[in-house]
Structure 1
C-alpha cells in the first residue's frame, strides 16, 4: 500500500478510498471501503466471496483517462465487466460492481488480504516447496475452470495476478484485460510490455492467432515452473537479446524445468506444449495432480508465508482504523498556477444525488458521505472482528510467528532484503512533506552487468516530474536508452528510504527490443550499491555499483 496522492479522489462511486494498491495497463487501483448505504450503479448479485480470504474492503480500479476517452474501449469494457460478473467459485476475486458509463469508468472487486505469488517468491520466501506447488496447481486449475465456464479467457495468468490466502490461491484481473486487446494504438500496457507478460505468453499470443482457454494453461505451466524454481522457464527479458529473444525462445525452444519437482515435471512440460491442442485442460490438470497420490500439506503454505498473511490482515485492520492515508498537497512551485475547477479532473461519483440520497457532492466534485456515524462504526467494527479472526487463524497455523510480531517481539518474518511493513495509524502526526527531490546520495553514475549485457544508469538532481534517470544497455546487437522522471522520494534526504521513478520512455532504440518501462523503485543497500526494481516484473532486480 502507499499513500493516496493529494489529487486522488476521495470517493469512486459508493467507495471511500483508503490507500493506493498499484497501477497497471488499465488504470490505478485503490484500496477502498463501501460507504454505509452507498448506492451502487451496477452492484453484482452474483458476488459471493469465500470466507477466510476476502474482507469488506474492495480493490477499485479507476480506468486511465486516455482509455476512458476511447468509445470502443468503453464498449468492450462494458461487455467484459458483464461477463466477469458470471465468474463464480472460491478461487477468484469476484466483481462487486462497476460503472462503465461514468466520466472515468471504474471496476470494484473484492480485496484479497494476501501477498502475490510474485512477492512471495521474489522477496518474501523464495521457491515454494513441492507440496505447496501441488496445492497451487490444484487451486489455479479450479480457478481456470470457473473463468472458462463463464466464457472468458484470462490471457495474463502470471505471479502478479495470483494472490496467496490461507485457503488457497486466488486469481485476479480475470477476463478484464480482453477489453484492452483491440484498443487503437500500440498493444502495450503501461509497463511497456506486450498485452500479457512476456515470460508467461503462449506462442499463439505472440503470433497473434485466435486465443482459446489453452493459452491460460500455458500460463499455468509457466507459473508453476516459476513457483517451484524462482525462474521463468524460457528465461527473462534481461538475458541477451532482451524481449525479442525471450519471445523467440517461447515459440521455438524447450522450457528449462530444472528444479521443478519430479512428480510435477511432466505435467508442467505438457502445459508448455507449443500446440494448444496438445496441452491438458484444467480438468485434466486436476486429475493428474490427484493421481500423484502425494499429500497436499495443511496448511498449504510454509510458516513464513503464513506469517505474511497475518501481516496483511493486521495492516488492513490498521489502515481501516486510521482512515484514508493521504499525503498533504505539495505547495505549488513559483509561477505554477493553482488547479482550477475548469482544469480539475472529473472523478466518478455515486450519481446525481436526490433529496433523499444518503450522499451529497462537495464543491470539489468528490462525494461526501452523510450516513450516520453509528452505521459507519458498526460496519467498521464488523470488519475489525473479521480481520482479527483471520490474523488469529493464521497465527495458529504459523506456530505463533504472527503473534510474536503483533506483541512486538523482534522476530524475522520475511526473507532477507524484504522491506519492513509500514502503515500510518490514527495517531500519526500530520505533516506537510516537502516537494520530492532526488536525494544527493543517489546522484551519480552506476553500472550493472547481467547475462552479457552492460547497464549504465545515471541519476541527476531534480524534483518531482523532472527527468532524473537515464539508462543505457549495451550487448551484441542491442543498444537501447531510456529516460524517467522522479515520482517520489521517501525517507531522509541522505538516502535512507526509497526513490520512486515514473514510467520510462525510450530515447534511443527500436521496438520490440527497446520498449518503454514501467514504474520502478530505487533503494540504496548498506554496502553502498543501488537496486532498481521494476514494478510487476517477474525478473530479479539488478544491483548497480557506483562508478
Structure 2
C-alpha cells in the first residue's frame, strides 16, 4: 500500500469500490481523516461534484469535507473521520433498534435529510451503509452521486443508486428528487428495526418488482415512527411527506400531528391542496404543513384551483428541485465502517 497521498499519511484501507479507495489517514497536524482516492482520472468531474454537494451541507450531520485536490494524477477528497460503524454493520453485529432508540435514529436521519435538502442537495443514495453511528450521533455520508440544483443533467436514462433503497419513480424513468430521499429514509428505518432490507430479490428485476408493487411489513416498528415510515414509503412521490414534515412530527411526537401529516400527503397525491402552503423561506417546491402546537407553524390558507382546472395545476412539484441521473453506484466515503 502506498504510504502518502499529498500531505496525508495513509494508515490503512477503510474500503474500496468502483470509483476508488478510501483510506484511514492523518493530516500534517496528526488529525485522523478519511481520504478518498479515485481509481482513474475519468471520475475527476464526479469527485468535484461530490465535494461541492457535501460542502453545502451543514457539517454537524455529515462528514465535513476538509480538502480536495483535483489537479494531480490521482484526485482525492479529504473528509472528517467519523469514529463509528455504519448502521448496516451495527445491525449485522447484533444491535437492535426499537422504541426510543429507533425514534432517536429516525429523528437524527430526518434532521440530516432536512439539512441536505435545505442546502439544495438531493443525496440519492441514502442506505444503511451511508449512515455512520458516530459517538456524537448518526451522520449521513457519501455524496458521490448527489446532485445540486445548479448541476447540469447528463447521461439521462442511467439509473444510479442502490436498488433496495431506490424510490419507485426512479425505476420508471423520473428524476430522483427529495421525495426519493424520503422513500429511502423509510426503507432505512425498516432495516434498522428488522435487520432486513425492505425490498429483496435474487435479481435486479425481482428487486425492482418489489419496490414498485410490494409493501414492507412495518408492524415491528413503534408509533409514531411506524406511521411516518408508511407515509414515506408511498409509491407516489407526491403522497410522501417532506423531510421537514417527518422531523416536525418526530420532534413533537403528537399523534394528531402524525395523522394530519398522513392526511395531507393523501390529499396532495389526489390533487387536492393539503392544509399547508408553499413557504418561500423553504425554497421552491417545498411544502410546509400546519402542525398544531408547533411554534412558527404557518396558518391554514386554502388555495383555489386554477380557473377551469382540477386543482392539480397549482400543485407543487418536488421534482423541480430534483437531481439528474448519472452513472454507477457510489463508494461510501467511510466504506470500511460498513
Would you call these one fold, judging by a TM-score over 0.5? yes
Matched, 1:230 2:200: no
Residues 53 and 146 of structure 2 are in contact (CA less than 8 Å); yes or no, is this contact kept in structure 1?
no
Residues 98 and 221 of structure 2 are in contact (CA less than 8 Å); yes or no, is this contact kept in structure 1?
no
Point out where structure 1 has 5 or more consecutive residues left out of the alignment.
1-7, 37-54, 188-193, 295-534, 539-547
2:162 aligned residue: 197
Instruction: Report the Cα distance in structure 2 between the residues aligned to 1:109 and 1:203, rounded to whole angstroms.
Output: 32
Instruction: Report the Cα distance in structure 2 between the residues aligned to 1:118 and 1:30, rounded to whole angstroms.
Output: 20
Matched, 1:136 2:109: no
SS in 2 for 1:102: coil
- Indicate the structure with greater strand content: 1
Matched, 1:253 2:208: no
What RMSD in Å do the two structures reach over aligned CA positions?
3.0
Residues 22 and 36 of structure 2 are in contact (CA less than 8 Å); yes or no, is this contact kept in structure 1?
yes
Which of 22, 26, 29 is equivalent to 1:33?
A: 26
Residues 121 and 230 of structure 1 are in contact (CA less than 8 Å); yes or no, is this contact kept in structure 2?
yes
2:71 aligned residue: 101
Q: How far did 1:255 drift?
A: 2.2
Instruction: Report the Cα distance in structure 1 between the residues aligned to 2:91 and 2:45, rounded to whole angstroms.
Output: 37
1:206 aligned residue: 171
- What is the count of residue pairs matched by the alignment? 258
Cα distance, 1:101–1:178 mapped onto 2, change above 3 Å: farther
SS in 1 for 2:175: coil
Instruction: Report the Cα distance in structure 1 between the residues aligned to 2:243 and 2:114, rounded to whole angstroms.
Output: 6
Cα distance, 1:182–1:18 mapped onto 2, change above 3 Å: farther
Within 5 Å, which residues of 2 pair with 1:506-545? Answer: none
Instruction: Report the Cα distance in structure 1 between the residues aligned to 2:126 and 2:206, rounded to whole angstroms.
Output: 21
Residues 84 and 150 of structure 1 are in contact (CA less than 8 Å); yes or no, is this contact kept in structure 2?
no
Point out where structure 2 has 5 or more consecutive residues left out of the alignment.
256-334
Instruction: Report the Cα distance in structure 1 between the residues aligned to 2:16 and 2:226, rounded to whole angstroms.
Output: 34
Instruction: Report the Cα distance in structure 2 between the residues aligned to 1:76 and 1:230, rounded to whole angstroms.
Output: 32
Residues 15 and 34 of structure 1 are in contact (CA less than 8 Å); yes or no, is this contact kept in structure 2?
yes
SS in 1 for 2:81: strand
2:243 aligned residue: 282
SS in 1 for 2:251: helix
Residues 228 and 261 of structure 1 are in contact (CA less than 8 Å); yes or no, is this contact kept in structure 2?
no
CA offset digits 1:137-182 (Å, max 9, x no partner)? 11111111221222211111111111112332111113x2248x98
Residues 106 and 225 of structure 2 are in contact (CA less than 8 Å); yes or no, is this contact kept in structure 1?
no
Cα distance, 1:15–1:107 mapped onto 2, change above 3 Å: same
Which of 78, 81, 106 is equivalent to 2:51?
A: 81
Q: How far did 1:121 drift?
A: 0.6
SS in 1 for 2:145: helix
Residues 168 and 212 of structure 2 are in contact (CA less than 8 Å); yes or no, is this contact kept in structure 1?
yes
Instruction: Report the Cα distance in structure 2 between the residues aligned to 1:166 and 1:77, rounded to whole angstroms.
Output: 27
2:180 aligned residue: 215
Cα distance, 1:142–1:135 mapped onto 2, change above 3 Å: same
Cα distance, 1:92–1:178 mapped onto 2, change above 3 Å: closer
- TM-score, normalised via structure 1 length: 0.44
| Higher RCO structure, 1 or 2 (CA under 8 Å, sep 6+) | 2
CA offset digits 1:412-461 (Å, max 9, x no partner)? xxxxxxxxxxxxxxxxxxxxxxxxxxxxxxxxxxxxxxxxxxxxxxxxxx
Matched, 1:177 2:145: yes
SS in 2 for 1:173: coil
1:63 aligned residue: 38
Q: How far did 1:76 drift?
A: 4.1
SS in 2 for 1:177: coil
Instruction: Report the Cα distance in structure 1 between the residues aligned to 2:153 and 2:128, rounded to whole angstroms.
Output: 24
Report which of the two structures shows the higher radius of gyration computed on alpha carbons. 1
Which of 77, 91, 104 is equivalent to 1:121?
A: 91
Matched, 1:266 2:266: no
Matched, 1:146 2:121: no
2:316 aligned residue: none
Cα distance, 1:88–1:275 mapped onto 2, change above 3 Å: same
